[in-house]
Homo-oligomer: A and B are copies of this chain.
Amino acid sequence: MRRFVIGRVRNLLETSRQNHQFKRPLLSSSQSPYRFLSSTTLADSPSSSSSSPSTMAPPVTVDTINPKVLECEYAVRGEIVTLAQNLQQEIQKKPDAHPFEEILYCNIGNPQSLGQQPITFFREVLALCDHPSILDKSETQGLFSADSIERAWQILDQIPGRATGAYSHSQGIKGLRDAIAAGIEARDGFPADPNDIFLTDGASPAVHMMMQLLIRSEKDGILCPIPQYPLYSASIALHGGTLVPYYLDEATGWGLEVSELKKQLETAKSKGITVRALVVINPGNPTGQVLAEENQRGIVEFCKQEGLVLLADEVYQENVYVPEKKFHSFKKVSRSMGYGEKDISLVSFQSVSKGYYGECGKRGGYMEVTGFGADVREQIYKVASVNLCSNISGQILASLVMSPPKVGDESYESYSAERDGILSSLARRAKTLEDAFNKLEGVTCNKAEGAMYLFPRICLPEKAIKAAEAAKTAPDAFYCRRLLTATGIVFVPGSGFGQVPGTWHFRCTILPQEDKIPAIVTRLTEFHQSFMDEYRD
C-alpha cells in the first residue's frame, strides 16, 4: 500500500491498524498519500509559517463545496413545497391573501401532519418507556391500558439497567431485535435472525448506509426504478455513484419487467459501469403498484444470476388496498424458492413512518441484512457504530409495529379498530382520487394498489408546454405551481421522480383527511378545467 505516513502520526495509524485489522485495499497512485497528514515532515520542508501572508482565504461558497452535494436533488421538499410554505405564512398573516383558506399538502407521505391520529397503544407504551417512574403509581392504571403497562415493563426489562436514555448496542437493543425477528418470522413463515436486524432512524439512514458501503466511485451503478422515490437518486449522488435507470411500464399498471432490467444492466456494463445492486420499491413509490409473487421470483432469480444485491424498499408493506393483491416480502419469496444466505444478498427496509401507524416524526425503522459474509457485516456494524445508535423511542416503536397487540390483549379491539379504520379510509381515498383524476381531460391514472400515492399522467397541451418553457420551468412543474397558487393544493411534479421523456405526471398523496377529499376534487377539477381552457391547443 502506498502510504507516506511517517513520524509522529505514524503511531496513530499503525496502532489503530493493529487494533482493528480491517483489510484495506490498495490505493491507486493518483490518490494523495496524505490521508492522515504527517507532521514531522515539517522538519524536511521549509517552514513557511512566519513568512505566510495573513491574507484571508476564500470563504466557503457553492463553488467550493463538495460537488456531490450540489448534484443531489430532493424534489419531495423542493421548490414547490418551499413556495407552499411561503403561501402558508402569508395566509397566517392575512387570511384573505390568497383564493384559498389553507394549504393542502399532498406532496409527502406524512399522515399525522394531515390529521391522522396515532395508534393509542403505541403511544401509551412510548410514554411509559419515556417516564418509567410512573409505572408503579396507582393513577397510571386509570390512564393507561393494562397491556401497555405490561408491554412497557417487558421492554424495560430488555434494556440494560432499564435505561431508555442510554446509547444502545449499535444495531439496536437486542430484545427489541428479537421481537422484530419474531414478527418477520410470523409474517413470512421463514426464520429471521435478530443479528441480521439493524435498527435505524427511519429507513433513509439505512439506505444511505448501504449506498455508502456499495459505491466506490462513479463507475459503480445502482439499478433504480423510474419513476423512483428521490431518496435513491439523492443518496446515489451524495455517494458519488451512478444511477442506472429501469423503467416501470405505465401501460401495464407500472409493471416491472425482468427483460427491462436485463437490458439496462447490459447497457450499463457496455459503458463500463459495474452494477452492484437493484432497488425495488414494493408497494411502489410514487407509483402505488403491488408486485405479483411470480414477478418477484423473476427479480430474485435475476439478482442471483447477476450477483446483484437486492435492496428491497418494503416500507409500505401494510399499505395494500385491493383484495386481489397481497404483500410478499422478498425474503419470503427468495426463501420459498429455496435460496438461502449463500445464494442471494438481500436487504429489506422497513419504517415506522408508513403503514397504518404513520409515525414519521419518531424516526424509527430497520433493515434486515441477509446473504453477506461476516467480514462485510462487520463493516456495516462499524459504520453503524460511528453514529452510536438510533433513537430508542424509534427502536421501541419499530418493535411495536412488528409485534402489535394480539387477540385477547386488553388493547386488541381498540387497536384493530384504529388500524382498520385508517387502512379502509386510505383505500376509499385512493379510489376517490383515482376516479377524480381519470375524469379530468387529458389525465389517466393507474390504480393505487398500495403505498400512499397516485401518479397520474397528464397530457399537457403544446401551448402549456411553450408557456412553461417561457417561464423556464418543466411543464409538469408549471402545472403544479399554477395549481398551488390557484387552489393551495401541493402536488410534486413527475420530473422530480423521473418519467418517460415527453410524458408528464405528478405525485399526489392519498393522505388528506376523508372529509377534505370532496373539496380537493372540486378545486382540482375546476382548476384543471380553467387551465385546459386557457392552454387547449
Contact = CB atoms under 8 A, between A and B. Distances in A.
Contact of A363 (B59, B62, B391): B391
B474 A75 contact: no
A34 B270 CA distance: 11
Interface in A92-119: 108, 110-115, 118
A407 interface: no
A118 B165 contact: yes
Interface string A9-51: 1111011101110111101000110111111011001111100
Given A16-B75, A66-B213, A133 B120 contact: yes
A387 B204 contact: yes
A20 B78 contact: yes
A84 to B, nearest CB: 12
A215 interface: yes
A127 interface: yes
A221 interface: yes
A476 B12 CA distance: 12
A385 B204 CA distance: 11
A263 interface: yes
A282 interface: no
A339 interface: no
Contact of A69 (B20, B48, B160, B212): B212
Interface stretch (A371-379, A413-421, A432-440): A371-379
Contacts of A392: 361-363
A226 interface: yes
Interface in A57-85: 57-75, 77-79
Interface string A214-250: 1111110100001000010111011100111101000
A495 interface: yes
B35 A161 contact: no
Nearest to A20: B73
B501 A361 contact: no
A170 interface: yes
A394 interface: yes
A112 B163 contact: yes
Contacts of A111: 166
A493 B11 CA distance: 13
B166 A383 contact: no
A470 interface: no
A2 interface: no
Contacts of A18: 472-474, 477, 495
Nearest to A142: B139
Contacts of A216: 64-67
Contacts of A265: 49
Contact of A267 (B42, B243, B373): B42
A360 B267 contact: no
Nearest to A148: B131
A476 B304 CA distance: 46
Given A72-B386, A131-B126, A134-B127, A212 B22 contact: no
A219 B433 CA distance: 53
B37 A376 contact: no
A244 B141 CA distance: 58
Given A15-B474, A34-B242, A238-B383, A127 B118 contact: no
A392 B134 CA distance: 22
B47 A263 contact: yes
Contact of A134 (B15, B143, B360): B143
A139 B268 CA distance: 64
B361 A496 contact: no
A361 B65 contact: no
A360 to B, nearest CB: 4
25 contacts: A8-B247, A9-B245, A12-B498, A12-B501, A14-B474, A16-B474, A22-B62, A22-B70, A22-B73, A23-B62, A23-B63, A25-B63, A32-B217, A57-B306, A59-B373, A60-B345, A62-B375, A65-B376, A66-B212, A69-B383, A72-B382, A165-B358, A202-B387, A202-B388, A363-B391
Given A35-B218, A38-B267, A73-B382, 14 more contacts: A7-B501, A14-B474, A16-B496, A52-B262, A59-B345, A69-B212, A72-B382, A74-B385, A112-B164, A113-B166, A123-B130, A238-B386, A362-B392, A362-B393
Closest 5 CB pairs of A and B: A57-B307, A11-B501, A15-B495, A15-B474, A113-B166
